[in-house]
Amino acid sequence: MTVLLIVLAIIVIVLIIPFGVSAAYNAGVFTLAARAAGLEFRLFPKKPKKERLKKARKAKAKKPKKPRKRRPEDDPEARKKEKLEKLFRFAKVGLEAMGRFRKKLTVNRLMLHVVLASDDPYAAAILYGGVNSALPALMAIAEQTLNIRDSDIRTEVSFESTEPVIAFEITLTISLARILGIVLAAAYAYAKLTIHARREKRREMLAEERTDRDGTAEPNV
């Protein structure tokens, strides 16, 4: 019984002790680290650089796949727009999940630098406008939800580059119990969002099929 109580006490202490977490995304590389008792632990990526290089060489050595037919969703501009929409969707879900712990999460630093670019200057301008219309709404949710000490949010448009560049960094103080709570809340919110999106897509497909049937049906004589 004494051993069980000691184990439970250790688990409770581990769950409630605050520690630092930092996540960053830059140049296509995502990193995640945790800090506790003055020590830093890299959580992601775990694989050493040599192993990643070996994998990259093996991938290059593989035979190239046969080119497939180009579909509308393969359009580079459509893919860029879809990626940005997914990014903001994930951010919104994460912030809403954090809202359950309103003002109990301390963000030491929040940085987001976005440079919009495209082969087509008009498409780049449209992306820039879309991001600038979405960011204020996300930041309003973040400021209501989190205790943000330092923030650096910038958006730019480049007519010289062809690919958008996103750099992101967040450093916060949190406990394991709250992380578990946020993950569960985010998973639930994302599941609801995914189910709703699938239903909407299904409705659109059924509406298109109905329209096609009505259009191809022969008129009654």
From first to last of its 221 residues, what are the pLDDT tens digits of the chain? 788 888 888 777 777 777 888 999 998 899 999 887 777 888 888 756 555 555 556 655 555 554 444 455 556 666 766 777 777 766 766 666 666 666 667 889 999 999 999 889 898 899 899 889 888 888 888 888 788 899 999 999 999 988 889 999 999 887 777 777 777 877 777 787 778 778 888 888 888 888 777 766 555 54
Q: Check residue 24 and give its pLDDT.
A: 94
Q: Does this model's pTM top 0.75? A: no
- Kindly state the tokens that stand for 193: 């969002």
pLDDT score, position 80: 67
Q: Are 72 and 133 in contact (CB under 8 A)?
A: no
Quick check: 189 and 97 in contact, CB under 8 A?
yes
Buried b (16+ CB within 10 A) or exposed e, 132-155: eebbeebbebbeebbebeeeeeee
Q: Dihedral (C-alpha) 183, 18, 26, 186: value to the nearest 10 degrees?
A: 10
Per-residue pLDDT at 112: 93
| Of residues 166, 182, 186, the one with CA closest to residue 174 | 182
- Which residue, among 15, 17, 21, has the nearest Cα to 107 in the 3D structure? 21
Q: What is the CA radius of gyration of the chain?
A: 23
- With tokens 């992601």, the residue in question is 44
* Structure tokens given for 198: 């699938």
pLDDT at 137: 85
pLDDT given at position 59: 56
Residue 69 structure tokens: 């037919």
